[in-house]
């Protein structure tokens, strides 16, 4: 069966693996992670990404946080104070933007990886840079479009490949937005609590899209949606 989760933001790997086991996720299943594995909490997703690079049945999609991380990739390889002093004004600005968005957790997580498994870092960076901006897939006769943040400036005539990175990674949908009639669009990025307290910790489903980012301030759970039957699980 095909599952989707999003916005892990440093969620503990062991807890995630135990949760997947509990919902029956096995070797013959497939999991899409719709971006934002990194930043904000815990080790900033370092252990999660290291695990993902060696899974055959897990696919990462690009999130805006991965995009920010990649723009500071050389900091993950070497973040010594000397190096920071040598940074151009432009790369310093890029770095501050990332660090304002929770990048410090990731920097620390990768600093720890440099001690324990330095070879994994270039492998992780290559893996993240290959992550697609969207995935179109068919599950049990039903078409799905997976992105990190929905579809900015949506128009039914606009071909999916012509969406910009900003439209796919930074878009903030409104509850009234309607996407394709015949395709279920699934995304994260906007915590469902931002649409109102009544949605706190719950997936939002409309006729044309699902927001599966149930991240709350406490960051205590991850939603997993099974696309085969749209069953919701919470880890
Ligand atoms: Mn995001």
CA of 165 to the centre of ligand 1 (A): 12
pLDDT (tens digit per residue) in 120-144: 999 999 999 999 999 999 999 999 9
CA 39 to chain centre: 10
Assess whether pLDDT exceeds 90 at residue 162.
yes
The rounded Å distance from CA 228 to ligand 1 centre is 25
Query: 170 C-alpha to center of ligand 1: Å?
Result: 7
Q: How sure is the predictor about 210, in pLDDT bands with cuts at 50, 70 and 90?
A: very high
Predicted confidence (pLDDT) per residue in 11-63, tens digit:
999 999 999 999 999 999 999 999 999 999 999 999 999 999 999 999 999 99
| CATH for the stretch 2-234 | 3.60.21.10
Reported as a pLDDT band with limits 50, 70 and 90, residue 78 is confident
CA 71 and chain centroid, separation: 16
Is the pLDDT at 197 greater than 70? The verdict is: yes
**Alpha-carbon torsion angle 110, 63, 221, 55, nearest 10:** -70
Taking the centre of ligand 1 as the mean of its atom positions, its distance from the CA of residue 234, in whole angstroms, is 19
Q: What is the mean pLDDT of residues 116-122?
A: 95
Statement: residue 79 has pLDDT above 70 = no
- State the distance between the two ends of the chain, measured CA to CA, in whole angstroms: 17
Beta strands in 9-126 (DSSP E): 30-33, 58-60
| Backbone φ and ψ of 52, nearest 5° | -60, -35
Q: How far is the CA of 82 from the centre of ligand 1 (A)?
A: 31
CA 57, CA 160: separation in Å to the nearest integer? 24
> What is the rounded average pLDDT of the residues 76-89?
78
Torsion 130-182-176-196 (CA) sign: negative
CA distance 39 to 46: 9
Q: Ligand 1 center to residue 188 CA distance, Å? A: 7
Q: How far apart are CA 12 and CA 47, in angstroms?
A: 8
Q: Mean pLDDT, to the nearest integer, of 69-84?
A: 82
* pLDDT at position 217 over 70: no
- pTM for the model: 0.95
**Do 201 and 162 form a contact (C-beta atoms < 8 A)?**
no
Instruction: Tell me the CA–centroid distance for residue 65 and ligand 1, in Å.
Output: 6
| Confidence band of 80 (pLDDT split at 50, 70, 90) | confident
Instruction: Tell me, in angstroms, the distance from the centre of ligand 1 to residue 80's CA.
Output: 28
DSSP 157-195: TS-GGG--HHHHHS----TT----SSEEEEE-SS-GGGG
Q: How many angstroms separate the alpha carbon of residue 8 from the centre of ligand 1?
A: 10
pLDDT at 195 over 90: yes
Phi and psi torsions of 76, nearest 5° = -75, -25
Distance 7 CA to ligand 1 centre (A): 7
Spacing, Cα 186 to ligand 1 middle (Å): 13
Residue 85 pLDDT greater than 90, yes or no: no
Spatial separation of the C-alpha atoms in residues 170 and 154, rounded to whole Å: 13
* Alpha helices, H only, 101-216: 103-116, 120-129, 165-169
Dihedral sign, CA of 98, 100, 102, 103? Answer: positive
């Amino acid at each position: 069966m095909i599952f989707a989760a999003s916005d892990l933001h440093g969620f503990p790997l062991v807890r995630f693996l135990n949760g997947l086991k509990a919902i029956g996720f096995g070797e013959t299943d497939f999991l899409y992670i719709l971006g934002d594995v990194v930043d904000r909490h815990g080790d900033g997703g370092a252990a999660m990404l290291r695990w993902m690079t060696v899974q055959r049945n897990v696919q990462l999609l690009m999130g805006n946080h991965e995009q920010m991380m990649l723009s500071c990739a050389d900091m993950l390889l070497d973040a010594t104070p000397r190096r920071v002093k040598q940074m151009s004004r432009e790369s310093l600005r890029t770095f501050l933007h990332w660090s304002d968005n929770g990048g410090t957790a990731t920097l620390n997580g990768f600093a720890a990886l440099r001690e324990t498994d330095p070879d994994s870092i270039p492998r992780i960076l290559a893996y993240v840079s290959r992550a697609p901006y969207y995935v179109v897939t068919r599950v049990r006769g039903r078409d799905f479009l997976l992105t990190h943040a929905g579809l900015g400036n949506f128009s039914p005539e606009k071909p999916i490949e012509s969406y910009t990175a900003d439209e796919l990674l930074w878009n903030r949908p409104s509850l009234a937005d309607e996407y394709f009639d015949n395709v279920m669009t699934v995304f994260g990025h906007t915590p469902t609590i931002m649409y109102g307290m009544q949605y706190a910790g719950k997936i939002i489903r409309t006729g044309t899209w699902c927001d599966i980012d149930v991240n709350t301030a406490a960051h205590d759970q991850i939603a997993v949606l099974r696309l085969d039957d749209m069953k919701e699980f919470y880890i």
